């Protein structure tokens, strides 16, 4: 071609009236690396792996198809090999922050345990005091009437009547208790059965997504078999900016317009219940999550290591 890859990317950026700072915000690539790409100074970049990945990110950010760019300028771009990947500063920073949070949690753990123990002891003390007060009230003698006249025969009769009434009340309470217990057990059994039926239904409707072939190369294509999905649906969640293409099959009709998408377009839901095959092409894997019936499909290759990947789903 008459124009090199750096000039082509720069021209695409300027045609969209975008500054290097704006491209940096979208791709999270440092400005000095973006300038090096536009000037074709690939030695400035932190290795051949990142050179290819950065060029793909840049192309996607300015509205170009990363795959087409990489193919047309293949001779200008350093070949990918098995060189050791340079630790990227953002990854290292993330690890340091994670380590710091874990250390802080470890220091707070003894304090949390102490607070929980104190609350438990206060609760036990409250229960104990409450029971003591209730016992004291029960042991207090009933007040007697000073003007009461004691009649032996009436007292004996009253005592007999009281014992009879007490026996009847006790039997009635036992009956009520037995009924309540039976009713409670029946309700619990019904609730447990409903829960088991619901769990069983969820397990039956949950599809199985199995990786049958892991892709290779700089733009790998991974093949999956999807089984057990009576009403399959495809959901794509987007957290950043990415090029996205979804087809009914490889080379088939477009189910979504092939273009750049942002978080504002998320989620993208596609009904695929009548499809035997669905093909998904992703320009920025770290910004995209693919789900079948709500079940996330993991990238066979880490999205941070290879940002451009393709999925081919075969529905059985």
In the predicted structure, residue 316 carries a pLDDT above the cut 90: no
* Domains delineated in the chain: 5-72 (1.10.260.40), 208-315 (no CATH)
Model confidence pLDDT, tens digit, residues 87-120: 444 545 555 565 555 566 777 888 999 999 999 9
| pLDDT higher than threshold 80 for residue 164 | no
CA terminus-to-terminus distance, the chain: 44
Position with higher pLDDT, 172 vs 104: 104
**Mean pLDDT of the region 303-310:** 90
Name residue 244's beta-bridge partners: 259, 282
- Edge-to-edge strand order for the sheet containing 277-282? 208-213, 221-227, 309-315, 277-282, 242-247, 254-261
d(CA 303, CA 284): 8
Does a cis peptide bond (omega within 30 degrees of 0) precede residue 82?
no
Who wins on pLDDT, 181 or 191? 191
Check residue 94 and give its pLDDT. Answer: 55
> In this model, does residue 1 exceed pLDDT 80?
no
Burial of 137 per CB tally in 10 Å (0-12, 13-18, 19+): exposed
Q: Which residue has the higher pLDDT, 39 or 108?
A: 39
Q: Check residue 100 and give its pLDDT.
A: 59
Q: What is the pLDDT of residue 280?
A: 84
Note the pLDDT of residue 88: 43
Percent of the chain with pLDDT strictly greater than 90: 47
How many C-beta neighbours within 10 Å does residue 10 have? Answer: 20
The pLDDT assigned to 82 comes to: 42
């Amino acid at each position: 071609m008459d124009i090199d890859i750096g000039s082509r990317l720069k021209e695409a950026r300027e045609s969209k009236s975008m500054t290097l700072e704006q491209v940096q915000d979208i791709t999270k690539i440092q400005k000095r690396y973006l300038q090096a790409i536009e000037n074709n100074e690939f030695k400035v970049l932190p290795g051949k792996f990142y050179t290819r990945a950065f060029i793909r990110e840049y192309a996607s950010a300015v509205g170009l198809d990363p795959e087409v760019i990489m193919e047309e300028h293949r001779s200008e771009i350093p070949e990918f090999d098995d060189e050791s990947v340079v630790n990227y500063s953002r990854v290292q920073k993330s690890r340091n922050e994670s380590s710091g949070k874990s250390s802080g949690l470890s220091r707070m753990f003894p304090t949390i345990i102490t607070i929980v123990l104190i609350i438990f002891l206060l609760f036990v003390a409250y229960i104990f005091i409450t029971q003591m007060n209730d016992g004291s009230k029960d042991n207090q003698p009933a007040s007697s009437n000073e003007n009461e006249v004691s009649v032996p025969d009436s007292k004996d009769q009253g005592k007999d009547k009281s014992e009879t009434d007490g026996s009847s009340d006790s039997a009635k309470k036992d009956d009520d208790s037995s009924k309540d217990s039976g009713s409670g057990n029946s309700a619990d059994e019904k609730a447990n059965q409903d829960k088991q039926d619901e769990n069983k239904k969820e397990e039956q409707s949950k599809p199985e997504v199995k990786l049958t072939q892991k892709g290779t190369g700089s733009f790998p294509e991974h093949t999956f078999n999807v089984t057990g999905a009576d009403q399959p649906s495809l959901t794509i969640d987007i957290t950043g900016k990415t090029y996205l293409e979804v087809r009914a099959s490889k080379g088939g009709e477009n189910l979504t317009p092939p273009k750049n998408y942002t978080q504002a377009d998320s989620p993208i839901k596609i009904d695929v219940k009548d499809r035997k095959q669905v093909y998904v092409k992703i320009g920025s894997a770290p910004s995209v999550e693919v789900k079948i019936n709500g079940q996330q499909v993991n990238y066979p290759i880490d999205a941070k290591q290879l940002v451009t990947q393709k999925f081919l789903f075969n529905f059985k």
